[in-house]
Amino acid sequence: MTTTPIREPGCELCDLAALRPVYADSKLSVIVVDDANYPGFCRVIWRDHVREMSDLSREDRLLLNEAVHEVELAVREVMKPTKVNVASLGNVVPHLHWHVIPRYTDDAHFPAPVWAAAVRQTEENTLAARRALLPELADALATRFARRTNQG
């Protein structure tokens, strides 16, 4: 049974999930975040406006975790990061979502979280090279989720 996702007016993540997905179905959306300093930063956004993982059924939690896993695999494959950070905070926007962030030893915040104070500036040519990979990342995500949709 497909239902229309519950959207909350004015919710930034509800809007992003609807307007800019690389993948979307009735349960979740995957977006590539427009972040000049962190090319390849993705979000997996649960379409219904819920606050916590514990608000989901077991089946939906497994579905969401599998989606985060697929995004991480695509980010690793294309972006070749030193590390991938996966986080679900929701302190600012209380709408269930996961951040999947490629990290490099030369990024502005490494080894601290991307939300900490910057400790350096990444070379612009390095960032440009990483940004050039974004179409490939979008293709990798689309391929992974198409495969997932066809299997299930």
The predicted model scores a pTM of: 0.89
Q: Could you read off the pLDDT of 97-117 as tens digits, one per residue?
A: 999 999 999 999 999 999 999
Question: CA–CA separation, 28 vs 107, rounded Å?
Answer: 29
Task: Indicate the domain borders of the chain.
Answer: 12-146
Residue 28 in contact with residue 66, Cβ under 8 Å?
Answer: no
Q: Is the pLDDT of residue 2 over 90?
A: no
Question: CA–CA separation, 128 vs 97, rounded Å?
Answer: 27
Question: CA–CA separation, 97 vs 99, rounded Å?
Answer: 7
Residue 84 in contact with residue 103, Cβ under 8 Å?
Answer: yes
Q: Is there a cis peptide before residue 94, judged by omega within 30 degrees of 0?
A: no
Q: Quick check: helix, strand or coil at residue 103?
A: strand
Q: Could you read off the pLDDT of 3-57 as tens digits, one per residue?
A: 455 667 777 887 776 777 899 999 999 999 989 999 999 999 998 888 899 999 9
Q: Can you give the length of the chain in residues?
A: 152
Which CATH architecture does the domain made up of 12-146 adopt? 2-Layer Sandwich (3.30)
Select from 76, 12, 13 the least CA-distant residue to 44: 13
Residue 16 corresponds to which tokens in the numbers above?
């992003």
